[in-house]
Structure 1
């Protein structure tokens, strides 16, 4: 990631985070229980919302993003350890976590299929796997617009892809999807699933 992106991320996201995103994050994260793995914790936006977890292990490949999240880390209500690691190669044993959370990160992971495989590997059978992601829209007009914009958007926004079919990837990875909620014309999806092994 470029050095400018971590500095602008929170500022750019503030309008969305102050409205609907805060409600969604609160609902998803506060329900996360047991030993929790967070994929791509960024600047720690989720950290204040953890309530039921006994321990949170957060991975973030960009140390500059983690650095900007230190204040939120210090104010967290539960123990949180941040590791510098990639989602495609998780440094944890099989069947370790009770819950896995990924929010607004699957747009940037270089190999999302490998990341999903790793998430399943390190989570226990029946573990809850929860996502909040922006995706390619079903509308022919909007979806095609995302496809056209994606090459430039990816360069400007540090690898963020506008048009990933994340829900399909999750289903194909063997995660049993139990609930999907959409907002902003299905641009964003809140997805709950189970790791069926």
Structure 2
């Protein structure tokens, strides 16, 4: 994990948030209910959007991002508890959560399949899993461009895989996909699932 990326993450994301990311986050996070796990909470951009959650347990492995998220957690409408944990090793008992959220995080998880199995483990049966992710595009040229750029992009942007097919990983994990909404020509997806 680099040190420059956490410092500049919010300024880099600000134009994208204004162009629609914040609206997508708000609509998605509004669906989170009960006890909620947020995986890879970053600098806490989602915290202000929780309204129906009883409590949010937020994991973030990058200590610099976790530190930045404390202010957002303190301003949250619902209680937020922060954990310095990886998605592949969640520090919670089986069947704990009613909802799991993750936004723009699966691109950076080193072992996404393992993370999805951990999410399934800590979710109750029928729990909601709400994801907003950028993915490998279906178009031949766009997808190949992402493939070519990914090695450089990963080094520059803290392990981010431009070409990760998160939707396919979710489908193979055993989660039941209920709805997929595409943005920006399929570069970004909202994936709504349940733990079946």
TM-score by length of 2: 0.99
Q: Distance in 2 between matches of 1:67 and 1:83?
A: 11
Cα deviation digits, residues 101-122 of structure 1 (max 9, x gap): 0100000000000000000000
Structure 1: stretches of 5+ with no match in the other structure: none
Partner-residue secondary structure (3-state), 2:127: strand
Partner in structure 2 of residue 98 of structure 1? 98
Q: Summarize the alignment of residues 1-197 of structure 1 with structure 2, pairs less than 5 Å apart.
A: 1-196=1-196
Cα deviation digits, residues 34-57 of structure 1 (max 9, x gap): 000000000000000000000100
RMSD: 0.6
Q: Distance in 1 between matches of 2:182 and 2:176?
A: 18
Q: Distance in 1 between matches of 2:91 and 2:29?
A: 22
Q: Distance in 2 between matches of 1:5 and 1:188?
A: 21
Alpha-carbon shift at residue 27 of structure 1 (Å): 0.6
Q: Distance in 2 between matches of 1:130 and 1:174?
A: 15
Partner-residue secondary structure (3-state), 2:108: coil
Alpha-carbon shift at residue 33 of structure 1 (Å): 0.3
Alpha-carbon shift at residue 176 of structure 1 (Å): 0.4
Alpha-carbon shift at residue 19 of structure 1 (Å): 2.3
Q: Distance in 2 between matches of 1:57 and 1:147?
A: 34
Partner-residue secondary structure (3-state), 1:69: helix
Cα deviation digits, residues 49-108 of structure 1 (max 9, x gap): 000000100000011001111221111000000000000011110000000001000000
